[in-house]
Amino acid sequence: MRKTNYDTDLLHALDEQPMPAAPLTDDEFTRVLDAACAKLPKAAPAKRRRFPWVQVAAAAAACVVLGLGSVNFAAPAVAEQLPVVGSLFSWLNRGGQSGHTALHSEQLNQYAETVESTAETADAPYTLTLGQMFNDGDWLRISLMLTSEDDSLADYNTIMLSEATVKDRPYDESSLILDGEVVVSPMGGFEFEKRDDHTFVAGANFWLYGTDLGGKTVTMKLDNLAASVKTLVDTDGESYWQYDYSTEKLLPGSYELTFTVPEPSTAGERTLAAPVTQDDVTVQVLRTTPAATKLILTFPAEQHWVWEEVYTEDGTKLNQEHGFGAWWKDGVYLNDPPEDDKGAKVTTRCDVAYFDAVPENCHSLTIKVYDFDTSAELTTFTVELP
């Protein structure tokens, strides 16, 4: 990427400006920009530079991702006023594509590791950029940005793996490859969402399932990408979305990113001090990180299975991203019913679920537990967080 098309001093100066909650008007944005320019080092006086935003959108976006994390964390509305990048930060803050269970985390930008990794292909005007990563040991979250130097994608609003090649698609496409082997695939796949005529943004969520990738160098390869016109056909506004994809345009080339996965982070982590039991249901694990909220409930086998809802103290319901039933023994969940030391089957079941990240200013969660078969409410916990 061309790194001469942005000014790092200007980005840091912008980062220090006070940020209002409401979106800026054009005049207000000019005032903030002028104030930032006034703080630039005297050795590098500000010049009236005309930025060819269309041509350098990829470079600007990748570089501002590295420099403006705290700007967006403090005020997403302000970040949206910045060319290209503000929309990427908004996607991360506010949940991404409608119709998909996406990461809802206002604080992820504060803790994510920034990356400068790009992939291009010969004879094509497109660049794939890996923006940020966060690894909490359960989830690896990454942001991706695909940019075009021309207007060839202007008539489309989404990019994804081509439906036309689905039968011949290799299993390792979009997965993480370590030593030639697939180690983990993105949960639910992902799409690039249009932010402007030259920029598309996606988030890939990898559930690690106990796989330790911290410090390891992996490869992610995207082939058979296609731009489409995505149209909403039907929805209930809550859990059901039906889309139509038409006018597919295949993107030439292959895009391969190689990067080192960060070590699992405990930054921003909060956990339950000790298990809590009521009505034969126990909250064994409650762990909140900038990436997700992990909940493990245990209960007697005769209860069959359960499902749960989690609410913040202001009544906001956390969306569930992933969950499954298992068996519980000695503080560990297992896929098959284990045996005790005498060979008898252990009869404690558990439910493992992952929800949206909990806002850092939330210190209490309400957990409602229901019978899986009848939906009858079994119990309700109120759990305090540090």
Percent residues over pLDDT 70 in the chain: 68
- Is 120 among the domain residues? yes
- Is 372 among the domain residues? yes
Tens-digit pLDDT profile for residues 78-133: 333 333 433 353 455 554 444 343 445 667 777 888 787 889 888 899 999 988 88
Q: Are residues 350 and 279 in the same domain?
A: yes
Instruction: Count up the domains in the chain and report the number.
Output: 2
* 111/101 Cα distance (integer angstroms): 21
- Is 187 among the domain residues? yes
* 5/147 Cα distance (integer angstroms): 15
Q: Among residues 279, 286, 291, which one has the least CA distance to residue 370?
A: 279
- Is 265 among the domain residues? no
Tens-digit pLDDT profile for residues 124-144: 999 999 888 899 999 999 888
For the whole model, what pTM was predicted? 0.73
- Is 296 among the domain residues? yes
Q: What is the CATH number of the domain that holds 236?
A: 2.60.40.1630
DSSP state of 179: T
Q: What is the CATH number of the domain that holds 303?
A: 2.60.40
The pLDDT value given to residue 19: 52
Q: Are residues 186 and 144 in the same domain?
A: yes
- Is 81 among the domain residues? yes
Tokens at 181, concatenated = 């082997």
Q: Are residues 22 and 108 in the same domain?
A: yes
Q: Are residues 201 and 308 in the same domain?
A: no
By residue range, what is the domain housing residue 294? Answer: 270-384
Q: Are residues 237 and 351 in the same domain?
A: no
pLDDT at 171 over 80: no
